[in-house]
Structure 1
Amino acid sequence: MSKKYSPQTQLLHATRLAPQYLNTIQPPLYRASTIIFSDIAALEQRHWTDPYDYSYGTHGTPTTYTLADQIAQIEGGKYTLLAPSGLSAINLVNSCLLKQGDEVWIPDNIYGPNQEHLQYLSEHYNIHVGIYNPMAIDSFQPSAQCKLLWLEAAGSVSLEFPDLLAFIHKAKQANILTALDNTWGAGLAFNPFDLGDAHSAVDISVHALTKYPSGGGDILMGSITTTHRPLHLRLLKMHALQGIAVSGDDCAQIQRSLSSMRIRYQQQCQSALQLTNWLKTQTAFAQVLHPALPDSPGHQHWQQLCPTGLAAGLVSVIFKADYSLAQVKQFIEQLQLFKIGFSWGGPISLVMYYQIHKMRACEHAHLSDGILVRFCIGLEQTEDLIADIEQALTRIV
């Protein structure tokens, strides 16, 4: 600027700026709602389908696009959208792909808030919701109106591992899109877009970045990843119309955690496996649930898709039926290291109880009667976690 402006104006339109680009270990953080165009041509030539549409903060910045690219790489996909939470990402898929009169199928062990959202769509928009037994492929009986099949591996809370290949093949034969909640696998246990042959890949992978990518129990975010550009553009359009956006600061925090994500996942996996071996020796439990256990529902399907032996740090137990709900609650409150709370993938171990038989609509003979308790393993020493559970068990009256 050659003209002499007042101090306030000069503060906003500085004549001297430090160089804006340099190489650092962590990428620069961009915070933006308004993005400044260099000229009219730049304004008029941009388009919402551009790989990097720098036009407004809700569309993206170098910070948000960088994280999206990193998640796409982890998931084995090509295109990723970011959302403010895992549930927000799930809801975007539902609202984008389903319309009045359509049908969607969900597993009986689906993440609860997803089912609640679909029930809302059913009540208000006449969308039929079918529920299938994740351990029985024949229970998935789509009609000609079915547009979407939701999958989870492992299933929420009770951790059954379904025959993903069978469900995907059946859906593809009927031209039904498949969406996998891949928060448990996190893109590390298996690749949802390459499950072993040319016809075994999901269409959409949804990931709660709140869990392992964040790793700190302090950031909410979700992602939607695909390999098909036309499908990505459908989702991108809805993403823009709904004004979905994420904070650059939150993205930067997750980016810092990605480099340790695999190490944390492996550590929590090892701790969970060590814990399951001990839990199996405890007489208070009728059943211990973890896909790596030979007697856990769907173990053979986990072995097929996860030959490296990786699994999320989640373990569920079902107390014997003669333990009352009050006693299970007492057990939980006696725990010292395990904190009562939802979510997982963070540094602190968590615990929660579920009355599983009140949550399910399908036959569940593979689950014992009794109250289920889910342990979400953190980064504590496994021996200390075992000792904590042991002392709490001795204090049940």
Structure 2
Amino acid sequence: MADQHTTGLIHHPYQAPEGFEAPAPGVFKASTVFFPTVAAMRSREWKDKTAYTYGLHGTPTSYLLEERLASLEGGKQCLLVPSGLAAIALVAQSMLKQGDEVLIPDNAYGPSKTLADGELKAWGIRTRYYDPMSVEDLAAKISAQTRLVWVEAAGSVTLEFPDLAGLVRVCKRAGVPVALDNTWGAGLAFQPFDLVAGEGIGVDISAHALTKYPSGGGDVLMGSVITRDQGLHMRLKLTHMRLGLGVGMNDVELVLRSLPSMALRYRAHDDATRVLARWAQGQAPFVQVLHPALEDSPGHAHWKALCQPQAGGAAGLFSVIVDPRFTQAQCDAFCDSLRLFKIGYSWGGPISLVVPYELETMRQSWPAHLAKGTMIRFSVGLEHVDDLRADLAQALQASGLLG
């Protein structure tokens, strides 16, 4: 070559030998993908994983994560998107059109409801909210226009655990596809496509915020949409392509690196959370403690029936309702007084988090199964449980909630 400093560096002939193996998979980043011939370019199909066509459609790195996540949740196909909310939006944009109706549980993830009340409404898609703890209410609200039903277990912030199999049976009888926000379960608490052994009862779509437990570091935003039905997967995949949704391979690398430890981390979060939730039950300022493994928490029997036979856990979240005689300012002072629990959204990372919520703004009405008061949600990290318990105790004292 005439110039080894430019052309020679770009078109250098060296190719690394094949056969390299190591614990961490390789990271392949690309927008452009090379084809050996024009014929090869024309023959390759982006819709499956038999070849590579363009970086947006996948590289060996993203293919690997998709396959591992599908196996984790018991699905057959997986699509990666930039966030958990993007996964929810992808399902909505693929499954719904003007004149359709979607049913969403009233305790669903807040941004999912905001999407429905904003963009979906503007596109002529009707949303109705149902009581997630009532199979009968869902059955009564499914109409001829219903094209999608969302379920969530456990519910966002308030952590009620629904009769998931019962809700899915209602949807199956009505012939309506059902999508699950499976971020809490993470493919570990229960199998979303096999809710009842031997019955073939399962959801059609599992949306998952990989931001949480699969990432585990509080430093990645990513989501997935997993299916079993090839036709449904292709419907979602075409929408995925048309929207130009893609993820960065360095982020994919981080999730791949964290996956082998996810079950261990999930159990550690779960174990510590149960200890703290039981301790919180004995604290006078808390009039109700919400955690699916607690016998008096709403939906405990449903959690026990679904998750315990599968040796599943109960994740790393618990919420408390503070006695209404305390003001919002006092509850905020409690959160401000915490030292190990940091104030911040999300969960599933190594650092414990706390957020106070105004439940009145998040529900159609105050649920009858919840005590009145200020709601505070805790995400338990990987700190030692004794240190976290001491932090909660000192904050109760410092804020004056203990008088």
**TM-score normalized by structure 1?**
0.97
1:239 counterpart residue number:
240
Tell whether 2:204 aligns with 1:219.
no
1:396 counterpart residue number:
399
2:146 counterpart residue number:
146
Q: Give the match's secondary structure for 1:259.
A: helix
Separation in 2 of the partners of 1:52 and 1:186? 28
Separation in 1 of the partners of 2:5 and 2:354? 57
2:87 counterpart residue number:
89
2:129 counterpart residue number:
131
Letter in 1 for 2:395: A
2:167 counterpart residue number:
167
1:104 counterpart residue number:
102
2:269 counterpart residue number:
268
Separation in 1 of the partners of 2:354 and 2:366? 26
Deviation at 1:23, TM superposition (A): 1.1
The answer as to whether partners of 2:76 and 2:228 remain within 8 angstroms in 1 is yes
The answer as to whether partners of 2:106 and 2:364 remain within 8 angstroms in 1 is yes
2:55 counterpart residue number:
57
The answer as to whether partners of 1:52 and 1:65 remain within 8 angstroms in 2 is no
Q: Give the match's secondary structure for 2:55.
A: coil
Tell whether 2:247 aligns with 1:249.
no
Separation in 2 of the partners of 1:190 and 1:320? 33
Deviation at 1:5, TM superposition (A): 5.2
2:24 counterpart residue number:
26
Q: Give the match's secondary structure for 2:215.
A: coil
The answer as to whether partners of 1:292 and 1:309 remain within 8 angstroms in 2 is no
Deviation at 1:52, TM superposition (A): 4.0
341-350 or 31-40: which moved more? Answer: 31-40
1:43 counterpart residue number:
41
The answer as to whether partners of 1:93 and 1:235 remain within 8 angstroms in 2 is yes
Separation in 2 of the partners of 1:336 and 1:52? 51
Separation in 2 of the partners of 1:258 and 1:8? 40
Deviation at 1:20, TM superposition (A): 5.0
The answer as to whether partners of 2:277 and 2:291 remain within 8 angstroms in 1 is yes
Separation in 2 of the partners of 1:27 and 1:115? 37
1:182 counterpart residue number:
182
1:283 counterpart residue number:
284
Separation in 2 of the partners of 1:349 and 1:245? 30
Letter in 2 for 1:179: A
Separation in 1 of the partners of 2:5 and 2:342? 54
C-alpha distance 321-295 of structure 1, shift in aligned 2 (>3 A): same
1:360-390 deviation digits (Å, cap 9, x = unpaired): 1045110000001001000001111010000
Tell whether 2:375 aligns with 1:377.
no
Q: Give the match's secondary structure for 2:57.
A: coil
Letter in 2 for 1:86: G
1:255-288 deviation digits (Å, cap 9, x = unpaired): 0101100000000000001111111110010000
Separation in 1 of the partners of 2:325 and 2:120? 38
Runs (4+) off by over 6 Å: none
Separation in 1 of the partners of 2:117 and 2:104? 11
1:55-74 deviation digits (Å, cap 9, x = unpaired): 00000000001001111111
2:194 counterpart residue number:
194
Question: Which structure 2 residues correspond to residues 287-326 of structure 1 after superposition, within 5 A?
Answer: 287-307=288-308, 308-326=311-329
Deviation at 1:7, TM superposition (A): 3.3
The answer as to whether partners of 1:217 and 1:347 remain within 8 angstroms in 2 is yes
1:155 counterpart residue number:
155
1:78 counterpart residue number:
76
Separation in 1 of the partners of 2:44 and 2:178? 32
The answer as to whether partners of 1:208 and 1:222 remain within 8 angstroms in 2 is yes
Q: Of 334, 340, 355, which residue of structure 1 is paired with 2:358?
A: 355
Deviation at 1:4, TM superposition (A): 5.2
The answer as to whether partners of 2:293 and 2:314 remain within 8 angstroms in 1 is yes
What residue ranges of structure 1 are gaps of 5+ in the alignment? Answer: none
Separation in 1 of the partners of 2:5 and 2:217? 43
The answer as to whether partners of 1:53 and 1:59 remain within 8 angstroms in 2 is no
C-alpha distance 317-178 of structure 1, shift in aligned 2 (>3 A): same
Separation in 2 of the partners of 1:314 and 1:123? 31
Deviation at 1:309, TM superposition (A): 4.9
Deviation at 1:41, TM superposition (A): 2.3
Q: Give the match's secondary structure for 2:132.
A: coil
C-alpha distance 244-309 of structure 1, shift in aligned 2 (>3 A): closer
Deviation at 1:291, TM superposition (A): 0.3
Separation in 2 of the partners of 1:199 and 1:120? 35
Letter in 2 for 1:287: Q
1:74-101 deviation digits (Å, cap 9, x = unpaired): 1111100000111111100001100000
Deviation at 1:358, TM superposition (A): 2.9
Deviation at 1:24, TM superposition (A): 1.2
79-88 or 135-144: which moved more? Answer: 135-144
Separation in 1 of the partners of 2:358 and 2:23? 47
1:294-321 deviation digits (Å, cap 9, x = unpaired): 1000001001110125111001000011
328-337 or 138-147: which moved more? Answer: 138-147
Deviation at 1:356, TM superposition (A): 1.2
**TM-score normalized by structure 2?**
0.96
The answer as to whether partners of 1:108 and 1:362 remain within 8 angstroms in 2 is no
